[in-house]
Structure 1
Amino acid sequence: MDVAGKFAELYGYEPEGVWSAPGRVNLIGEYTDFNEGFVMPLALPHTAVAAVARRTDGVLRLHSADIDAPVAELRVDDLEPLSKYGQGGWAAYPAGVVWALRDAGHDVSGGADVHLASTVPTGAGLSSSAALEVVTALAMNDLYGLGLDRPRLAVLAQRAENAFVGVPCGVMDQMASACAMEGHALHLDCRDLAIRQVPFDLAAHGLRLLVVDTRVKHELGDGAYAERRAGCEEGARILGVSHLRDVAYDELPAALAELTDEKIRRYVRHIVSDNHRVEQVIDLLDSGDVRATGPVLTEGHASLRDDLRISCPELDLVVTSANAAGALGARMTGGGFGGSAVVLVESADEDTVTKSVLEAFAAAGFTAPRVFPAEASAGARREA
């Protein structure tokens, strides 16, 4: 992607630099982030790339190579949450980051010219929005000399999505995009943002992690995500804890006995058990028993399907057809209601499992999914 060349063509001068930030896929730990729990994402090789230059007149100009739309021209001082650019349009994500930086007291008043291009699939549950936010945050941080570290940039990017765009996401996506390390999965404690880079070299074990993009589009802002978040918060309130993170796995039966609302019981059961699954996967990776993580992934899918109820027929079909063809385990990943699944396979079985999933989708009359390997890649960085 020649974003620098396109920037010069658009704006009539050269950018000051080029930055990139990746999408992510989450190995295990879903909807646990806003419950101050544990997650374990890894960055993908797919990235959002931005060519950026500072301005001095308070104007923010935004353009995307991926959207058939003219340059959006805004004023930094006029950016307001849930405004016209805070409701659905792609420009809300980079604009929201500039607003979040300004709102946090950082001087970005001069504005910027930005040209973006992305290879992160949209609507696939792979955090295309977080990639846009983080690449903007990193570029503005560098250009304006703000001195913010990666976790702080991730938190500000999350605030942009929460307050400016209006999507009540947790911080996992932005942390993965900002802080991931090549060849590693990111074990993140969403309470204190402590991170541990966990070696994740599947090739050394003769394994592959496949991403299956069902091509079923979802929107996290449609209310379903917010409803589940509210249900989790209500469960925590009833149980007398600040967040469901505080319910230990061995205390789960007693906690569930206190809950009379069947829906809240299901949500609580998923969150507490998925936090436990993250810990199981960590232990297995640390011990070198990587193959044993497969069944944990499949258990996670059953919990997302039956307790959180955010799966769909396409995602369920990926899991059942992949496992029937010899996969070690599989689960949906991301916000649900479409998007992607991850499948752990022996490298020798990759083609067989892929063929089985494609044939199952064809037999069901579904649109053919996109299947590609997930390579644990580097987080956000300056490219030029």
Structure 2
Amino acid sequence: MACLSFVDFIHGLCYHKDVYVVGLSYAIIPDQDCSLTRSFCVRQLGHIMYVWNHVAARILQNTAIGKNYESDKLSGARRLRDAIVLGYQLQRVPGRDISIPDWYANAENELGLRTGSPAAEMNETSFPAKTYAEDFEILHGDLLGLSDTMSFLNSLSELDAECDSAKHTEKRQIRERMAAANLFNWEEDIIVARAPGRLDVVGGIADYSGSLVLQMPIREACHVAVQTLHPSKQRLWKHAQARQHDKGQESTPVLQIVSYGSELSNRGPTFDMDLSDFLDGGQPISYEKAKIYFARDPSQKWAAYVAGTILVLMKELGVRFENSISMLVSSAVPEGKGVSSSASVEVASMSAMAAALGLNISPRELALLCQKVENHVVGAPCGVMDQMTSACGEANKLLAMVCQPAEVLGLVDIPGHIRFWGIDSGLRHSIGGADYGSVRVGAFMGQKMIKLAASAMLSPTPSSNNGMTTDELDDSSIELVEAEASLDYLCNLSPHRYEALYAKILPESMLGETFLEKYANHNDPVTVIDSRRNYGVKAAARHPIYENFRVKAMDLLICLPEKSESDDVWKMNRMARAFKALLTSATSDDQLTALGGLMYQCHYSYSACGLGSDGTDRLVQLVQEMQHSKLSKPGDGTLYGAKITGGGSGGTVCVIGRNCLRSTEQILQDGLISMVCQHWFSLIGDGGTGGGNGSEDSGGSTMGMIQQRYRGATGYLPFVFEGSSPGAGKFGYLRIRRRHTLKKV
């Protein structure tokens, strides 16, 4: 392709905005063959090129928002162009004001259900002064004082008048709200369920290896509204009506789903299907067929998390669906941040469906069903801790659970002087390098090798692994080796046994083909070994063994001030690692320092597995710097530890600190986030301007200045997850009915 001149590029933007992306690439570096990625590195082009880029950016923005060309206000393509323009502008020389496209702010406002977020605050103006109570009668359930649930009910109360309300005539109406306005039959009852995301305090990816985990439900949650009706009463969308007509079907069950927030992610806002698609010869289709069914259209693959609950109920509980189903999904749990957005959607959907069908499913059983949705319908090889926390957790408590497969040990009260935060690194989970699935495969490879090595030790001939036979082992040792030869979970192997007998026989890595030739399989039903891929084995197997040990130590240390010797959780988790703290009746600082140290160990173990990231590593480093800067003042510490969470490779960092105002101020104002800003500014600024070691020495005002410079350069500040909320089991469900004095004229 010949390079466009800058003038031609400007002309093309004004009249042919659909091709501006290509023009951008060639206009930024004229007369050179360049990629779009290269074109975004504008800071390397110098001041003259910056002037050209600034002009181009302004024209790009004006074109995208319709000043140069009239565009459809509902056009998704226009918003995609806006997003690219914004990204282009964010790479300019820092310090210039940037206008965030109004569609982005409006989309968040209309979603507007995220507790504590700017969008939630702004959204208050989009609702009338009246409350949900004027429109809905709550027939069953309790709001539990949850403001996000109140906001969700308010949004429902607006749907019936969405298309008629004068306040929307001059406002963009996004497709999802238009579809939602025609989703429910307002003469019938609606079920509402709620499920929170979770903060992985400790345990993480070791859940699939049977570890003890400690998890905290966060304040942000997903709400799902469900209505089941006879097919003749359901308000079908026009294309669904046409589909049934073409099939010669009349009044057959249909599933219709609307998902809020599609404007902020790469997915469609609606999904519908005939429920007969889940049947083959009158029986539920296989999970594999369902996975293929939802993967046909990438923009609607998200529906597997919601609709998959229906298939799982069919297959696992034998539920038959004679009625049509309408579902509205509204989640304030951000995607790709490592706080279990998918689990919250699954648990809220399953809770709502169970209530609508009158099924009595315990929170634990419900979580296990949701894991089947993610493992078998979505096809993601997750453990069960996410769903268990979302279903069984309680506000301001840590859920203690042994993932063998899902045994809840109890709820651990968080002592009043301890607090946990989650800080979003701004990096979505990476798909490059080692990922969650490959690390899981490596762990199961290691487990298979350990079991076979133990079996070899029990043979009458010397083992090629350790040169030992049963003749050299006493009775107690033989019992241990026998248990290890039938090891169900890696976490049942103690660290000292691992180091003494098995660490030296595990390879650092192994090619999938080599493993399959020697061992045939790895005994994990939810992952498949790629014969061409090289898997890390030793680090992946070592991590859950030591992580289980760390979690038990944390559980003991957290419980130390308040648990008695007779407490079951206390008895089960007594360990030598924490005996010094027990002997000395650890002071608050000692306790927090020990807890933080365990979290640091967990973080670096993730990195050894290849599941770290620059952003999360930097956040942990900054917590360490702030912690050590306080060591000269005993008793004056605030932050004590941090670790990457969830599946790793980006996402959120969990931070532990003293529950005091200064801790929050350090994170939110002149401390940690400002230091993150300084770090990232040093990466994107001119010639490293604004760099530094990220310490607090420069003072709060300097950090505040860096924070503003970062905002000016990127438009982004890390979101901080604060607070907690009840799990789906504690919330239960709401059954609501529309009052009859509501229709606006």
The two structures share one fold, judged by TM-score above 0.5 = yes
Among 358, 381, 403, the alignment partner of 1:190 is 403
2:49 aligned with 1:49, yes or no? no
CA distance in 2 between partners of 1:132 and 1:76 (Å): 20
Among 398, 403, 427, the alignment partner of 1:216 is 427
Q: Deviation per CA, 1:160-215, whole angstroms, max 9, x where unpaired?
A: 1111111010111101100001221001111042213333335x21x321110112
Structure 2 residue aligned with 1:173: 386
2:319 aligned with 1:319, yes or no? no
Partner SS state of residue 351, structure 1: helix
Give the total of aligned pairs.
381
Q: Deviation per CA, 1:136-170, whole angstroms, max 9, x where unpaired?
A: 11111111122221111111111111111110101
Deviation at 1:219, TM superposition (A): 6.2
Structure 1 residue aligned with 2:256: 61
The verdict on how the C-alpha distance between 1:3 and 1:343 changes in structure 2, with shifts beyond 3 A counting, is same
Checking the alignment, whether the CA contact within 8 Å between 1:358 and 1:369 is kept in structure 2 is yes
CA distance in 2 between partners of 1:72 and 1:217 (Å): 25
Checking the alignment, whether the CA contact within 8 Å between 1:37 and 1:275 is kept in structure 2 is yes
Partner SS state of residue 114, structure 1: strand
The verdict on how the C-alpha distance between 1:6 and 1:158 changes in structure 2, with shifts beyond 3 A counting, is farther
Partner SS state of residue 376, structure 1: coil
Partner SS state of residue 98, structure 1: helix
2:604 aligned with 1:331, yes or no? no
Deviation at 1:247, TM superposition (A): 1.2
Checking the alignment, whether the CA contact within 8 Å between 2:337 and 2:424 is kept in structure 1 is yes
Q: Deviation per CA, 1:211-258, whole angstroms, max 9, x where unpaired?
A: 101121126799822111111111110000333122112212022122
Partner SS state of residue 205, structure 2: coil
CA distance in 2 between partners of 1:165 and 1:221 (Å): 20
2:199 aligned with 1:4, yes or no? no
CA distance in 2 between partners of 1:161 and 1:379 (Å): 19
CA distance in 1 between partners of 2:601 and 2:502 (Å): 21
The verdict on how the C-alpha distance between 1:78 and 1:129 changes in structure 2, with shifts beyond 3 A counting, is same
TM-score (norm. length: structure 1): 0.92
CA distance in 1 between partners of 2:432 and 2:727 (Å): 26
Among 282, 303, 306, the alignment partner of 1:91 is 303
The verdict on how the C-alpha distance between 1:255 and 1:375 changes in structure 2, with shifts beyond 3 A counting, is farther
Checking the alignment, whether the CA contact within 8 Å between 2:261 and 2:269 is kept in structure 1 is no
Among 233, 255, 258, the alignment partner of 2:505 is 258
Partner SS state of residue 182, structure 2: helix
The verdict on how the C-alpha distance between 1:70 and 1:351 changes in structure 2, with shifts beyond 3 A counting, is closer
Among 663, 666, 671, the alignment partner of 1:356 is 671
Structure 1 residue aligned with 2:127: none
Partner SS state of residue 216, structure 1: coil
Checking the alignment, whether the CA contact within 8 Å between 1:3 and 1:50 is kept in structure 2 is no
Checking the alignment, whether the CA contact within 8 Å between 1:180 and 1:197 is kept in structure 2 is no
2:551 aligned with 1:278, yes or no? yes
CA distance in 1 between partners of 2:262 and 2:540 (Å): 37
CA distance in 1 between partners of 2:432 and 2:343 (Å): 14
Question: 329-338 or 48-57: which moved more?
Answer: 48-57
CA distance in 2 between partners of 1:45 and 1:226 (Å): 28
CA distance in 1 between partners of 2:155 and 2:318 (Å): 26
Structure 1 residue aligned with 2:741: none
Partner SS state of residue 557, structure 2: helix
CA distance in 1 between partners of 2:290 and 2:190 (Å): 28
Partner SS state of residue 11, structure 1: coil
**Aligned Cα RMSD in Å?**
2.2
2:603 aligned with 1:301, yes or no? yes
Equivalent residue letter for 2:652: S
Equivalent residue letter for 2:294: Y
Equivalent residue letter for 1:129: S
CA distance in 2 between partners of 1:318 and 1:5 (Å): 41
Checking the alignment, whether the CA contact within 8 Å between 2:197 and 2:217 is kept in structure 1 is yes
CA distance in 2 between partners of 1:102 and 1:200 (Å): 37
Question: 60-69 or 277-286: which moved more?
Answer: 60-69
The verdict on how the C-alpha distance between 1:62 and 1:108 changes in structure 2, with shifts beyond 3 A counting, is farther
Among 520, 539, 542, the alignment partner of 1:269 is 542
Question: 349-358 or 112-121: which moved more?
Answer: 349-358
CA distance in 2 between partners of 1:328 and 1:383 (Å): 40
Structure 1 residue aligned with 2:466: none
Which structure has the higher relative contact order (CA within 8 Å, separation 6+)?
Answer: 1
Equivalent residue letter for 1:72: F
The verdict on how the C-alpha distance between 1:35 and 1:199 changes in structure 2, with shifts beyond 3 A counting, is closer
CA distance in 2 between partners of 1:330 and 1:12 (Å): 45
Question: 4-13 or 28-37: which moved more?
Answer: 4-13
Larger Rg: 2
CA distance in 1 between partners of 2:443 and 2:367 (Å): 23
Higher strand share: 1
CA distance in 2 between partners of 1:176 and 1:77 (Å): 33
Deviation at 1:51, TM superposition (A): 1.1
CA distance in 2 between partners of 1:77 and 1:175 (Å): 30
Structure 2 residue aligned with 1:107: 319
Checking the alignment, whether the CA contact within 8 Å between 1:94 and 1:136 is kept in structure 2 is yes
Checking the alignment, whether the CA contact within 8 Å between 2:414 and 2:558 is kept in structure 1 is no
Partner SS state of residue 291, structure 2: coil
Q: Deviation per CA, 1:347-367, whole angstroms, max 9, x where unpaired?
A: 223212443332332223266
Structure 2 residue aligned with 1:72: 271
2:722 aligned with 1:374, yes or no? yes
Partner SS state of residue 359, structure 2: coil
Checking the alignment, whether the CA contact within 8 Å between 2:434 and 2:610 is kept in structure 1 is no
Checking the alignment, whether the CA contact within 8 Å between 1:93 and 1:129 is kept in structure 2 is yes
CA distance in 1 between partners of 2:665 and 2:719 (Å): 10
2:342 aligned with 1:30, yes or no? no
Checking the alignment, whether the CA contact within 8 Å between 1:38 and 1:278 is kept in structure 2 is yes
CA distance in 2 between partners of 1:6 and 1:54 (Å): 21
The verdict on how the C-alpha distance between 1:261 and 1:49 changes in structure 2, with shifts beyond 3 A counting, is same
Query: What are the ranges of 5 or more consecutive residues in structure 2 without an aligned counterpart?
Result: 1-151, 161-180, 231-251, 279-288, 452-486, 510-535, 562-585, 628-638, 682-713, 736-745
Equivalent residue letter for 2:598: V
CA distance in 2 between partners of 1:25 and 1:245 (Å): 21
Deviation at 1:374, TM superposition (A): 3.4
